[in-house]
Amino acid sequence: MKDDNAIVLPGEALGIEEEFLSSKNTFVDEGVIRSAAFGKIIKENGKIEVKPLKSISKIQNNMVIIGKITDNVGSVVFVKIDDIKIENEEYLALFDGKIIMRRSHDNHQHKPCSIGDIILAKIIDLEEDTYILDIFEQNLGVVFSTCPFCGIPLIKNDYRFLVCTECKHKEQKQLSPFYMSFEQIVDYLEKENKRVLSNQSNRNKYNSANDRYNDNNEERRENRYNNRFRDRNRNFHNNSKFTHKHFDNRHK
């Protein structure tokens, strides 16, 4: 069941008829209440509805995300990505992500994270329906991890190892400098993504201005060509009239 204020897409399941009455922008499909719009869930007085949002803001390339490692298959790590909120605007993660493991010079595969870890990662590409992620840049990496034996949070020591205070288990991972510093994580996510979005906006403005400049240049070139062609035809016509008049005078 979806939480209140969660953002949903059309057709997404919200709950069942035994729990809620279907209300605005929802419909019932075989006992399941589904969203009929893109928007936020509103639960009130035993009813469930969807408040439509004007547009979908999607997570883009170069944005930094926070996600949870869900699986590890060979050299690929799979990540469930959370939506991001920047200045009261929601950016949706429409797909899950994956990290391609790096190999060292001796062909040893370095595992920077484990299943269940919470990570900061950067989106570097979109491959079919999956975001390609990187966690090796500065400030990125694991921000929370638990002991695989005790289940309690691992603590970072002075040597960048993670240590379990209960069983003394140690792990070495690709750690973010914001490990377990949750206020810093939120602050970094907002500042970095605002910078990325600002750069993208400036690039779009530059490209738009450049396109207009190229269009104007093309129009000016076309006008110059048409003017030269018109002048050439006018000169040819005038010379032709003079030639005919001169020829007629000589043969009178």
| Per-residue pLDDT reduced to its tens digit, 57-82 | 788 899 999 999 999 988 899 999 99
Q: What is the pTM of this model?
A: 0.65
pLDDT of 185 over the 90 cut = yes
For the ranges 47-61, 181-195, 238-252, the one whose mean pLDDT is highest: 181-195
Please give the domain boundaries of the chain with CATH numbers for all domains: 7-52 (2.40.50.100), 64-201 (2.40.50.140)
Distances (CA, A) of 25 to 12, 22, 54: 12, 9, 14
Residue 127: pLDDT band with limits 50, 70, 90: confident
Q: What is the dihedral of CA 74, 76, 80, 86, to 10 degrees?
A: 160
Q: Are 28 and 54 in contact (CB under 8 A)?
A: no
pLDDT of 247 over the 60 cut = no
Residue 134: pLDDT band with limits 50, 70, 90: very high
Own/partner contacts of 4-8, CB < 8 Å, gap of 24 or more, are 4/41, 4/42, 4/43, 5/40, 5/41, 5/42, 6/40, 6/41, 7/38, 7/39, 7/40, 7/41, 7/53, 7/83, 7/90, 7/92, 8/35, 8/38, 8/39, 8/40, 8/41, 8/50
Q: What is the mean pLDDT of residues 19-32?
A: 90
Distances (CA, A) of 181 to 98, 170, 214: 24, 20, 49
